[in-house]
Each structure stands twice: as structure tokens, then as C-alpha cells.
Amino acid sequence: MKHSIVPVVMAGGSGTRLWPLSRQLYPKQFLALSGPQTLFQQALLRLADLADDTIEVQPPCIVGNEEHRFLVLDQLREIGQKASTVLLEPVGRNTAPALTLAALHVSEPAEADPILVVTPADQTVTDAAAFTAALRRAVHAAADGSIVILGITPDRPETGFGYVRTEGAGPVHTVAAFVEKPDAATAEAYLAQGGYYWNGGMFVVRASVWLKALAQFRPDIAGATRAAWAARSTDNGFTRPGKEAFAAIPSESIDYAVMEKCPANPKAGFAVRMVALDAGWSDLGAWEAVWQVAGKDAQGNVAHGDAVIEDSRNTLVYATSRLVSTVGLDDVVVVETPDAVLVADRSRSQDVKKIVQQLEKRSRDEGTVHRLVHRPWGWYDSIDAGPRFQVKRIMVKPKATLSLQMHHHRAEHWIVVSGTAEVTCGDKTLLLTENQSTYIPLGEVHRLANPGTIPLEIIEVQSGSYLGEDDIVRFQDTYGRAG
């Protein structure tokens, strides 16, 4: 019998422990931290490889954040994944409601009951063949109605993960209990005793089984999510549950809502089983984890970008925009971006999230957005700023267009660096090419578009009394942002 599966990729999250590279509006799942593809793209490609004579892989279902919707679409296009469903959460409600949205989506028509292969978007593995073999085993185990978890074979006494305690031998284990994150001594004991695995947050379950289990253990979440799904809307390739109804859903994880309750309630009728995964897995949850999986020199150093390391050991240097050099450092993390630099003891990399919390308290943008800001039409990079002026470098993708807009407080000068610009200014439209420029007066309705087949790059000089991004009145927009 051939099993139909739907990959479900959980693409929310902010990745605050990988600041300053990961930020709220461009979090770690959309970064290429271990190879040429981003972690999100790696997750999709790994799941696509599950297809064989017994498994049919359906188009994936991505559950993500409203703010990341165009990042998701861009990264899907980059790997040629056109047939997919993108479900957008208006607010974060943890993984149980997110999985429920996916289960409700794939259950239409009513007779459809595919096996859901659920994975976070921010993990990596180094042994793709071992990952595929383990996940295929989990799919076959879930076909009979079991809930199957992939348990990561531990290679150290890790205190940062929850654990799964198993019983029995063989390729598919019975889950006896889910265990909270232990202290160091308890983690040592788990490793010595055996039968304990890390909970990596990957699940395989039929859609109907998940919906039944949630309705039994957390009927409040089940009912509220169904109400939000009934109020859904679809536009521009996105499906959005009802905003008010979704905000009313209790926030809960898959583990707490269902998984941990099943072994403790054997009469409930939901068997939880586990397939061991030994495939070089990492959640890349902090800079320590990035150092662990990266290639190292003879002194244990990891260098990324324009880095020069001298007389240092077990140190990570991650440079993005300039030369970064170190001398005499041991067990240190140095991460450089155009607008922020992090220096931390490698063993304290989990505490980087506290820096992000401080930035939030101080109402600073560096915890939320990079200097280079991605937009659905391309990106802009704020090169320089001062009293009453700002300079930006702007890239517009081929055939893309910005919104028809105006500003109350600033005028703009545009200089074309490369490509062709189609400029609407008031009732006039003109074409500009390399080294040509134009002026957009304060209050004038205008638009920038790229009619060409190569990226358009311009330098924009803004001048005025207020230069914030919220001084934009949109009249028309290809991306649904007008109004």
C-alpha cells in the first residue's frame, strides 16, 4: 500500500539566540547557516526526498508568520517549489494550533486523511540518507494510527533539550514518558542509562489522529482553532485563519497539548512510538551549536566571511560586511553585521537572547530588523543618515514594482546605478537608465518599477523633517499592502 504524506513545515519563530544575524523580521530559519540553502529550504528538500515506491509526497504545507510571508514565497521559488500551501498565523499561538490548521487544511475533502510529517524549519542534519531512512520508518509506523516521534540519539549530556524515555527494543520504540529539560547530573545519568533520546520536535501522525487526540485532551484548543479555520480567507496565494478567532486560541505546544498526555493516559487509545534518529541533527539554537556543526581548522576555529584568526582556539568568527580579526581568543564567539557586533563566551551563547530583550526594552530596532531590509519587491539598505537626510541603496527585482505612494514629510532624489527604472511622478511616467536621476517632491504621488530583465539598483537620497518608514501612504499595491 502506498502512503500519502503531506510535509508540514513550522516556519514561525524568531531565533533570538542567534542575534545579530537572526532578527525578528529575518529569523534563523531563513538564513543559510549550514550549506548553500537556508534552513527552511533544507527542511523542504529533505522531506521531498522521502518519496519511494511506498510513499507519495504531496505538496508541502507551510505554517508561518504574517510578517515573513514574502520571505517564504521567495525561498520557495528559489528551490522550484511552486505547488505549496502557506498558512499565515496573525499572532503566535505555539505549535499545537499551527499543526491543527495544517490538519484541517489537508482534511478537505473530508475523506482525505494523509499522514502529516511535521518538522520545524530551523534544523539541520549532516547525514541525509540516515534522516530519510528514519523518517520513512516513522511514516510506515504512523500508518496504523500511531503518533510517532523522531528521537535524536544523544551524543552528550545536553541540558537544553527535553528528553523522550523509551521502552522495548527494535527499530520502533514505545514511548514511556516525556521528560523535561534536566540538570547536568540528570543528563549525565540519562546518557549512561540509555533509553533516553532528545525531543527534536519532529512528529509523524495521520491528520485524523491528531484532530481526535487534540479534541480529547484539549477540546478548547480544538474548538477555537476550528472556529478560526471556518473564518479563513485566501488571497495572493496565502490562507489566513480568522484573526480575532485565532487570537482567542490558547497558546500551547504540541508536546504539552497532546504528546505528553498520551503515555500517561494509556486508556485514551493513542499510542506514541519513537524512531531513533542518528543523522548529525542540530537545532542550531545558539552560536555554540553553529560552532559544533561547522568545519574547523586545526585549532578548532570556525571562520565565515572575511575573517583572520591568529593564536586563537575553539573560536567562531562570523563576518558579513568587513574584515574581522582576532588574536589570542579561546572559546569565544564574534559575529559582525553592518549595524551590530556580538562578542560572547561560547559557553554563554544561550544568553544572547538577553541582549535582544534589552534592545526591546530600549525600543531599539537592531533586535527586530537588519540594516538591509527585505521587501517583496527586493530590498533596501540604509547606508547613511543624519539630521533631515537619509541615504538608501535600493534593489528592485526584474518586473517588480513598488506601491503607488506619497510621503507627507520627505522629498526624494533617485539616481539609477544599474538597470532600467520606470518612474511615475504625478501624471508623468519616464524611463531612466544608468547615471540618470529624478526628483520626487514632498507630497507627490509616485511609484518605482523595474520593467527590465535584470535587477534595478538605485541610490535614494531622502530629505525632510521626518524620515520614518511609517510616512508612506499607499494608494495601489501589488502585494496587498494598500489602504
Mean pLDDT of 144-164: 94
Q: What is the mean pLDDT of residues 157-177?
A: 91
Q: Are residues 260 and 307 in the same domain?
A: no
| Average pLDDT for the chain | 94
Assess whether 350 and 397 both reside in one domain. no
Q: In this structure, are residues 150 and 138 in contact, taking their beta carbons and an 8 Å threshold? A: yes
Same-domain pairing of 51 and 185: yes
pLDDT digits (tens, 9 = 90+) for 301-338: 999 999 999 999 999 999 999 999 999 999 999 999 99
Domain identity same for 205 and 143: yes
| pLDDT score at 483 | 60
pLDDT at 169: 80
144 and 183 belong to one structural domain: yes
Regarding whether 446 and 298 lie in a shared domain, the answer is no
Q: pLDDT digit string (tens) for 27-36?
A: 999 999 988 9
Q: Are 131 and 45 in contact (CB under 8 A)?
A: no
Tally of domains within the chain: 3
pLDDT digits (tens, 9 = 90+) for 85-115: 999 999 999 999 999 999 999 998 777 899 9
Q: Is 482 within a domain?
A: no
Q: Which among 237, 149, 246, 248 has a CA at the least distance from the CA of 197?
A: 149
State the Cα angle at 230 between 224 and 236, rounded to 5°.
120
Looking at the domain assignment, is residue 464 inside a domain?
Answer: yes
Query: Are residue 309 and residue 229 in the same domain, yes or no?
Result: no
For position 37, which CATH number holds? 3.90.550.10
Answer yes or no: is pLDDT of 15 > 90: no
Distance CA 199, CA 253 (A): 13
367 located within any domain = no
User: Which of residues 483 and 80 earns the better pLDDT score?
Assistant: 80
Res 267: pLDDT = 80
Both 355 and 382 in a single domain? no
The model's pLDDT over 368-390, given as tens digits with 9 standing for 90+, comes to: 999 999 999 999 999 999 999 99
Q: Are residues 380 and 434 in the same domain?
A: yes
For 343-366, the pLDDT digits (tens) are 999 999 999 999 999 999 999 999
Please indicate, yes or no, whether the overall pTM of this predicted structure exceeds 0.85.
Answer: yes
Last residue of a domain, one of 247, 277, 307: 277
Question: In this structure, are 111 and 157 located in the same domain?
Answer: yes
Write the CATH number for 419.
2.60.120.10
Single residue among 226, 251, 277 that ends a domain in this structure: 277
% of the chain surpassing 70 pLDDT: 100
Same domain assignment for residues 425 and 328: no
Query: Has residue 284 been placed in a domain?
Result: no
Residues 116 and 135 reside in one and the same domain: yes
Domain ranges, residue 332:
290-361
Burial of 109 (C-beta count, 10 Å sphere; 0-12/13-18/19+): exposed
